[in-house]
């Protein structure tokens, strides 16, 4: 991993891991610092720890925006020794605590062809479950700086958290917002995702810096445009299901490209059929 943190607002720093363009956000208060997401492997997390210490020596609290490997598999390195608090949605914490082998296997299968070196690292990376759970909303005091952790509803997963830093006008959106590629729908709730983004938009203003899960920081207009595309996709899925159209026909007309839209359509159809 090359490069380090870049300050995007007052004492809010973003590091982008170059392989998958994952963003990690560091929020520094007077007494503590908050690290949002921990990357994919022990090796990446070791480099991340050094990058954090180049910015601040404040005691660290961690947040996982969700339980996908590229956002939380570094927990053990960053919060294991010495032990540090790690916050996540209750369902993300449960997945990491109860199903680590499933998560590790799915991560390995996802990256083994395109990124074999990372896949080998994932196979040996120890997982650490979050220690503190969020259901709807939790506020943290970093010392002179209040940070809000909020679950806006089901979207990219059933366990997404966003992190709002009001005094710096920054919103860390996790994979509910994507800049470097289309949203990932494999574990998603495409019919509910627009409502989740609408919820997080209520935390923004004209000048808010929004940090997506992957890619460059964006403005509120970018998020509104992505919300409109997600809403169109949800409408097409509902209309297609009602009319008996195959998911492939929905995908051909939907935003985000045929591959991503087909995954979304199939997920949406299952939801409408009441099947897992």
Alpha helices (runs of H) in 182-256, residue ranges in sequence order: 193-201, 220-243, 247-253
Average pLDDT, the chain: 96
Per-residue pLDDT, 123: 86
Q: Tell me: the pLDDT tens digits for 161-173?
A: 999 999 999 999 9
What would the pLDDT profile of 177-192 be if each residue is shown by its tens digit? 999 999 999 999 999 9
Rounded CA separation 276/273 (Å): 9
Is residue 64 within 8 A of residue 53, CB to CB? The reply is no
Q: In 3-state terms, what secondary structure has residue 28?
A: strand
**Dihedral, 5, 77, 20, 269 alpha carbons, nearest 10:** -120
- DSSP character for 238? H
2: confidence class by pLDDT, cuts 50, 70, 90? low
Q: Based on the number of CB atoms within 10 Å of its own CB, is 100 exposed (0-12), middle (13-18) or buried (19 or more)?
A: middle
Residue 212 has pLDDT above 80, yes or no: yes
pLDDT, mean of residues 24-28 = 98
Q: How confident is the model at residue 276 (pLDDT cuts 50, 70, 90)?
A: low
* Tens-digit pLDDT profile for residues 93-130: 999 999 999 999 999 999 999 999 999 999 889 999 99
Q: How confident is the model over 226-238, as a mean pLDDT?
A: 98
Q: List Cβ neighbours of 275 (8 Å cut-off, separation of 6 or more).
A: none
| Whole-angstrom distance, CA of residue 217 vs CA of residue 15 | 11
Q: How many CA within 13 A on the CB side of residue 163?
A: 31
Query: Alpha-carbon distance 4 to 15, whole Å?
Result: 6
Encode pLDDT of 266-275 as tens digits. 999 999 999 8
Among 231, 227, 232, 235, smallest CA distance to 272 is for 235
Q: What is the pLDDT of residues 218-230, one digit of tens each?
A: 999 999 999 999 9
pLDDT at 160: 98
Cβ atoms within 10 Å, residue 249: 14
Can you list the domains of the chain with their CATH numbers?
A: 6-220 (3.60.15.10)
Residue 238 burial (10 A CB sphere; 0-12, 13-18, 19+): middle
């Amino acid at each position: 991993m090359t490069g380090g943190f870049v300050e995007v607002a007052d004492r809010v720093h973003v590091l982008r891991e170059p392989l998958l363009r994952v963003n990690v956000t560091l929020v520094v208060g007077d007494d503590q610092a908050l690290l949002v997401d921990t990357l994919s492997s022990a090796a990446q997390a070791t480099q991340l720890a050094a990058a954090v210490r180049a910015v601040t020596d404040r005691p660290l609290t961690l947040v996982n925006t969700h339980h996908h490997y590229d956002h939380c598999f570094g927990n053990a390195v960053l919060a294991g020794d010495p032990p540090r608090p790690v916050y996540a949605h209750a369902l993300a914490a449960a997945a990491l605590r109860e199903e680590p082998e499933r998560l590790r296997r799915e991560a390995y299968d996802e990256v083994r062809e395109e990124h074999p070196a990372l896949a080998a690292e994932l196979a040996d990376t120890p997982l650490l479950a979050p220690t503190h759970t969020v259901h709807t909303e939790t506020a943290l005091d970093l010392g002179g700086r209040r940070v809000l952790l909020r679950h806006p509803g089901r979207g990219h997963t059933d366990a997404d958290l966003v992190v709002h830093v009001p005094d710096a006008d920054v919103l860390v959106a996790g994979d509910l917002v994507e800049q470097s590629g289309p949203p990932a729908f494999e574990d998603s709730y495409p019919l509910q995702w627009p409502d989740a983004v609408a919820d997080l938009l209520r935390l923004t203003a004209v000048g808010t810096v929004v940090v997506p899960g992957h890619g460059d920081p964006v403005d509120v207009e970018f998020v509104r445009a992505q919300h409109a595309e997600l809403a169109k996709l949800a409408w097409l899925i509902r209309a297609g299901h009602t009319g008996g159209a195959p998911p492939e026909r929905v995908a051909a007309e939907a935003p985000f490209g045929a591959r991503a839209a087909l995954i979304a359509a199939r997920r949406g159809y299952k939801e409408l059929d009441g099947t897992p």
